[in-house]
Amino acid sequence: MSTSESLRAVVAVPLSEEHCRLIERLEPRLELVRDASLVRPMRGPADWSGDPAHERTPAQQQAFDDLVDSADALFGIPDVDPAALARTVAVNRRLRWVMTTAAGGGGQVKAAGLAPEALDRIVFTTSAGVHGGPLAEFAVFGVLAGAKDLPRLAQQQADRQWTDRWEMRQIDEMTVLVVGLGGIGAECARRFHALGAQVWGTTRSGAPVEGVDRLIPLDELVSAVAEVDAIVVTLPGTDQTHHLIGAEVLSAVKPGVILASVGRGAVIDEEVLLDALDDGRVSFAALDVFETEPLPTDSPLWRHPRVLVSPHTAALNRKEEERIARRFAENATRLLDGEPLRAVVDTVEFY
């Protein structure tokens, strides 16, 4: 697009007026259309899907659909519902860009089952990288919790038991393997490097990443895990990454390895992980994501003494909405100026 053109963008998920105005200030050429009365109210910070108990009247639903169908671009998948995305893509030929509010929004696009023509016509982007800092902090927290044996400390405190001292591990004496050096993985690498760890990272491109001491081709993952003290998983969920951390990898790890997971739950085979926890191959696992969410109440992960369960909340931060709004404005500027957009979804592997 030329710099003289404008872009009609419709806010298809809850977004505060404050952040709408921020987007307009950052990119004045953007016509940002919103109607707060038509979107589901947020129940908490960055609750993009809104309250599921909130129902539109038939007239409100028609008004919402009409609004969405008038867009050149969408801030968010309508109601964070792949079926709603498929509906508007089918009727709105002017739609050319959709930004998902989720970093892993490629999975939502895949679930919409869009035709190849639509995938060619519309650019899909995600908020990938926006959540890198908070998720990297959780990864550091998880590895530290394993290194300092947080479960033992918590149990002894609960029992008011003062035992003999025991040795704790130090991060600056550890080798940490970051599986996936995208936006989140790069932030993890930077933080572990700053703490003095030897940092390895898997790569497909072979491009150097700040703070990474050794790049590991993915086809060498099995041999690499035998040499590291901690594994941090940041990969998106795709057909290619499904159960990548499974029997072959977890049978090869150095005994006592610590695992932290902040990517997508399907990357780890949870049944195999439980076996590895039980026999000591994995000494501790800090998990923010799971194969099935919410984590079923009968999952053994809930009660395993060496597992820390986080309900996919590590990325949630009061600044998340602002960061995503800024990303949308930045990509709107890029689109209007004919420049490549950031965090474009690969519509073959959907990440």
Residues annotated as catalytic are 264, 293, 312
How many residues appear in the chain? 351
What is d(CA 339, CA 173) in angstroms, rounded to the nearest whole number?
A: 44
Three-state SS at 326: helix
Which residues, at least 6 apart from 254, have a Cβ–Cβ distance to it below 8 Å?
225, 226, 227, 228, 229
Separation of alpha carbons 132 and 186, rounded Å: 8
CB 43 within 8 A of CB 51: yes
DSSP code at position 19: H
Residue written as token pair 């539109």? 56
Cβ distance 292 to 312 under 8 Å? Answer: no
Residue carrying structure tokens 């992960």:
301
**What are the tokens at 98?**
């959709």
CA distance 271 to 269: 6
Mode of pairing for the β-strands spanning 123-125 and 97-99: parallel
3-state secondary structure of 148: coil
CA 169 vs CA 45, 148, 150, 175, 254: distances in Å: 36, 6, 12, 12, 15
Rounded Cα–Cα distance for residues 221 and 208 (Å): 17
Helix then strand count (H, E) for the chain reads 12, 12
Residues in CB range of 169: below 8 A, 6 or more apart = 146, 147, 148, 229
